[in-house]
């Protein structure tokens, strides 16, 4: 899984709510829409790799391009990214990138990746960045979302790729592959997470010292960001003593890395908080 920078917020225990569900995530919003609207990657796009493009709407399907997913299920952690990992075969060596479509959406979000065009086979691998506030307004559970993932190919001669009698656009897609994404908006104490997360993913590592040090420097009473209630609440939810990041293997890596990154320049810039 790819792990780009994680947004930071604050650490207080949530004992009043027990170990399972986390206070800042109430609501009955749609997890599919929340994740598809994340847009936390490069330049407001959802991706951390390649050259993000305008979404495709109802593109033609090029059956000469075949894809299989290299992963069966991935975990989407707030403030991190999940990997889109496809292997492709392209008879016309015309693959230029990869894309993803969420349930209920008519668009395929995609990114152009240098080095793919001209290959008859290879791998498409890039990260979909999940906004740190993605769980706001949706139930504080783990949510399984069935995405459809594609290779995106160039329709070089502008011909009728899908045989419907009409010329197709500049970019077309392979037949899609369904890949399940688990959006983690609770800890592994929630039955929803125990049921949906991949086997072996639930793992309690505990809050690392570096996150306590970040809290003491930036968010404790009298420190630069202590008055920012939303940041305090976010840190509590993600990085606090009972934060959701400390309940999965990937979350432990992401969380400690984020706090370490935030602390890198603490000695020279003590008032510089966040990533």
Contact status, residue 274 vs residue 46, Cβ threshold 8 Å: no
* Overall average pLDDT of the 22-36 stretch: 71
> Is 20's pLDDT higher than 50?
no
Percentage with pLDDT > 70 across the chain? 88
Place of tokens 């001669």: 157
pLDDT value of residue 62: 96
Q: Cα(116)–Cα(207) distance, rounded to whole angstroms?
A: 41
Q: Cα(161)–Cα(171) distance, rounded to whole angstroms?
A: 10
* Overall average pLDDT of the 17-42 stretch: 63
Q: Which CATH architecture has domain 26-184?
A: Sandwich (2.60)
Q: Helix (H) and strand (E) counts for the chain?
A: 5, 11
How far from chain centre, in Å, is Cα 275? 17
For the stretch 74-97, pLDDT in tens is 999 998 899 999 999 999 999 999
Residue ranges of the chain assigned to CATH 2.60.40.10: 26-184
First-residue to last-residue Cα distance in the chain: 20
For the stretch 46-71, pLDDT in tens is 999 899 999 999 999 999 999 999 99
């Amino acid at each position: 899984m790819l792990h780009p920078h994680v947004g930071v917020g604050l650490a207080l225990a949530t004992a009043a709510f027990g170990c399972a569900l986390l206070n800042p995530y109430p609501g009955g919003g749609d997890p599919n829409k929340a994740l598809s609207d994340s847009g936390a990657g490069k330049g407001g796009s959802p991706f951390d790799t390649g050259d993000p493009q305008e979404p495709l709407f109802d593109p033609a399907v090029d059956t000469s391009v075949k894809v299989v997913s290299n992963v069966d299920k991935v975990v989407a952690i707030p403030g991190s990214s999940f990997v889109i990992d496809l292997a492709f075969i392209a008879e016309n060596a015309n693959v230029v990138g990869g894309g993803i479509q969420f349930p209920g959406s008519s668009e395929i979000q995609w990114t152009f990746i240098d080095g793919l065009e001209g290959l008859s086979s290879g791998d498409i691998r890039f990260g979909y960045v999940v906004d740190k506030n993605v769980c706001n307004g949706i139930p504080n559970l783990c949510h399984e979302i069935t995405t459809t993932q594609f290779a995106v190919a160039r329709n070089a001669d502008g011909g009728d790729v899908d045989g419907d009698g009409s010329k197709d656009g500049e970019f077309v897609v392979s037949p899609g592959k369904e890949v399940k994404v688990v959006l983690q908006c609770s800890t592994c104490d929630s039955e929803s997470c125990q049921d949906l997360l991949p086997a072996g993913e639930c793992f309690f590592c505990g809050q690392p010292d570096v996150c306590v040090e970040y809290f003491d420097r930036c968010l404790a009473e009298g420190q630069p960001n202590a008055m920012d209630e939303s940041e305090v609440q976010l840190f509590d939810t993600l990085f606090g003593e009972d934060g959701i990041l400390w309940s999965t293997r990937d979350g432990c890596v992401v969380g400690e890395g984020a706090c370490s990154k935030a602390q890198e320049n603490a000695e020279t810039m003590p008032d510089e908080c966040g990533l």
